[in-house]
Amino acid sequence: MTCCPACGGPDPAPRGGLLECGDCGLVFTPVFSVSPAVYAPGLEEGIYDGAKAALFSEALDILGAAFPRRGRLLDIGCASGGLMKSAAARGWEVSGVELDAALADKAEAAGFEVSRRPVEEAGLPPGTYDAATVFEVFSQMEKPGAASAEIFRLLKPGGRIYAREFNAGFHLALRRIEMSGLFRPFGAYPSVLHDRNFRAAALRIMLERAGFRNIRIRNSRPTAGDPYRTGGRLGGLLTAAIKVLYYYMAQAVWLASFGRIYAGSALIVTAEK
């Protein structure tokens, strides 16, 4: 029997070649793919670091307010260490988890301790970390439910998780528009789908079942520019402007719905142990 990898719900329903959990709404592939992402030469630095610098800063501002004396931070899916470098500069004691060997090598070369196993298999000591960051990684995990439970175990009482994840509600709708051919004249392909695609409800239910409390979800600001080059002939500047404009539209919908409708392209979720 196939179960939801986020919440464990049984008997997911078929959805256009994917499966959808009836309990939490996760949309996922029947077979998990472990192949690492491969980008065109010269794009990696912008994707993993530059385009997310403001997002990393915002995360560290929020965690810093909760932990003015800092503490230990675990960055799960740390890539080449962009967030860890910023966190260390602010006084955090930082380590990471990264499965991509080339990226892990870069993070270690920058002076950080990096585990190369999935977090639920890494054997890290429980109750050790004050904070954990998870930037767009739950969507690429084979067992995100098990990972969130392990993150809960690794945090100290009162510890915080800060995660950013693609919003499946937005990207599934965008993929349908792409399939209609509307974006073809522009050479654009803006939707982002992975093996696990989270709506806000799926993130909330997964973290609740892991034991987290005070779960808060909001629309995320977009990454800077067009790091994935998905805008095609629209170009980086116009693509970036459209992203920012859409973010404010999504925020207006969120406010008008009293926080019930998440239309943004990505979500931020924070929670406490």
- For residue 146, what pLDDT band results from cuts at 50, 70 and 90? very high
- Predicted pLDDT at 50: 76
3-state secondary structure 215-257: EEEEECCCCCCCCCCCCHHHHHHHHHHHHHHHHHHHHHHHHHC
* For residues 141-162, average pLDDT: 98
Task: Dihedral sign for Cα 28, 205, 73, 167, please.
Answer: positive
- Predicted pLDDT at 188: 82
- Predicted pLDDT at 44: 65
Helix (H, G, I), strand (E, B) or coil at 94: strand
Mean pLDDT of the chain: 92
- Predicted pLDDT at 211: 98
Going from the N-terminus, what domains does the chain have, and what CATH number goes with each?
Answer: 13-27+43-169+192-224+262-272 (3.40.50.150)
Q: CA 2 to CA 18: how far, in whole Å? A: 12
Nearest CA to 26 among 203, 148, 208, 263? 203
**For residue 270, pLDDT beyond 90:** yes
- For residue 43, what pLDDT band results from cuts at 50, 70 and 90? low
Burial of 98 (0-12, 13-18, 19+ CB in 10 A): buried
- Predicted pLDDT at 1: 75
Q: Which two tokens stand for residue 162?
A: 């800060």
- Predicted pLDDT at 51: 84
Helix (H, G, I), strand (E, B) or coil at 6: coil
* For residues 166-185, average pLDDT: 92
**For residue 49, pLDDT beyond 90:** no
- Predicted pLDDT at 80: 93
* For residues 248-273, average pLDDT: 96
pLDDT single digits (tens) 197-249: 999 999 999 999 999 999 999 999 999 877 777 787 777 788 889 999 999 99
Q: Which two tokens stand for residue 128?
A: 């050790």
- Phi and psi at residue 124, to the nearest 5°: -75, 150
| Sequence letter at residue 31 | V
pTM of the full structure:
0.94
- Predicted pLDDT at 101: 94
Pairing of strands 72-76, 129-135: parallel
Q: Is 259 left (phi over 0), alpha (psi -120 to 50) or beta?
A: left
pLDDT single digits (tens) 68-113: 999 999 999 999 999 999 999 999 999 999 999 999 999 999 999 9
Quote the DSSP letter at residue 114. Answer: E
Q: CA 247 to CA 241: how far, in whole Å? A: 10
Quote the DSSP letter at residue 126. Answer: T
